Amino acid sequence: MSGLVETVSQGSTHSFSKQPRMWIRLLAGLGVEGDAHLGTTVKHRSRVARDPTQPNFRQVHLLHRELLEELEARGFVIGPGQIGENILTRGVDLLGLPTGAVLRIGSAAEVRVTGLRNPCVQLDRFKPGLMAATLGRDEVGGLVRKAGIMAVVVTGGEVRPGDPVRVIPPPEPHQRLQPV
């Protein structure tokens, strides 16, 4: 499976949205250079309040363009970086990846998928009703979280719009993504 990077974003403060950039630099074991969520331990404020020593499994947030298109059809017009993603992809079934899948992005950077982004009330503060719009149900009624995935940086490098994204699956048996 392969796709491409559509946009990249970075935010140095703990605000909801991130600013689109011409490129971002991924740092191994840390995340996006200059991003508020950079580090080996948790940086999301609610998680820091509970236990600041937890490992940071949310170094990079990836979102699929296809979700933004789905949301636009429902009346939510959302631009790159506006819901906090670092990398907006196209053509990669991010939600269908197993835990531990590696994404090779561009010529060198690699991230390992740790889990799903759990949609939260901040989405509704940004646009009322957006949280519910990023949730769905599967064929057996199970909750589907569509707000993207989280990853840690395995190999650093620069990431730019237009870079290819190649999926390297982990060894079997595969584990379904869970919220992190």
How distant is the alpha carbon of residue 6 from its chain centre?
A: 13
d(CA 165, CA 104): 6
For residue 21, what pLDDT is reported?
98
Query: Residues 34, 12: contact at Cβ < 8 Å?
Result: yes
In tens, the pLDDT along 96-147 reads 999 999 999 999 999 999 999 988 889 999 999 999 999 999 999 999 999 9
For residue 38, what pLDDT is reported?
97
In tens, the pLDDT along 35-77 reads 999 999 999 888 888 999 999 999 999 999 999 999 999 999 9
Q: Please report which helix (H) or strand (E) contains residue 124, including its range.
A: helix 122-126
The mean pLDDT value for 81-109 works out to 97
CA atoms within 13 A on the CB side of 12: 3
What's the angle, vertex CA 81, arms to CA 70 and CA 143, rounded to 5? Answer: 45
Which pLDDT band, with edges at 50, 70 and 90, does 8 fall under? very high
d(CA 16, CA 82): 7
Q: Residue 148: what residue type?
A: G
Q: Domains in the chain, please, with CATH?
A: 2-168 (2.40.33.20)
Query: Residues 30, 39: contact at Cβ < 8 Å?
Result: yes
Whose structure tokens read 């060894």?
171
For residue 1, what pLDDT is reported?
66
pTM of the full structure: 0.97
In tens, the pLDDT along 150-178 reads 999 999 999 999 999 999 999 999 999 99
Which pLDDT band, with edges at 50, 70 and 90, does 34 fall under? very high
> Which residue pairs from 135-144 have beta carbons closer than 8 angstroms and sit at least 24 positions apart in sequence?
144/95
In this predicted model, which residue has the larger pLDDT, 15 or 28?
28
For residue 115, what pLDDT is reported?
98
CA atoms within 13 A on the CB side of 95: 17
**DSSP bridge pairs for 149:** 62, 116
d(CA 34, CA 11): 7
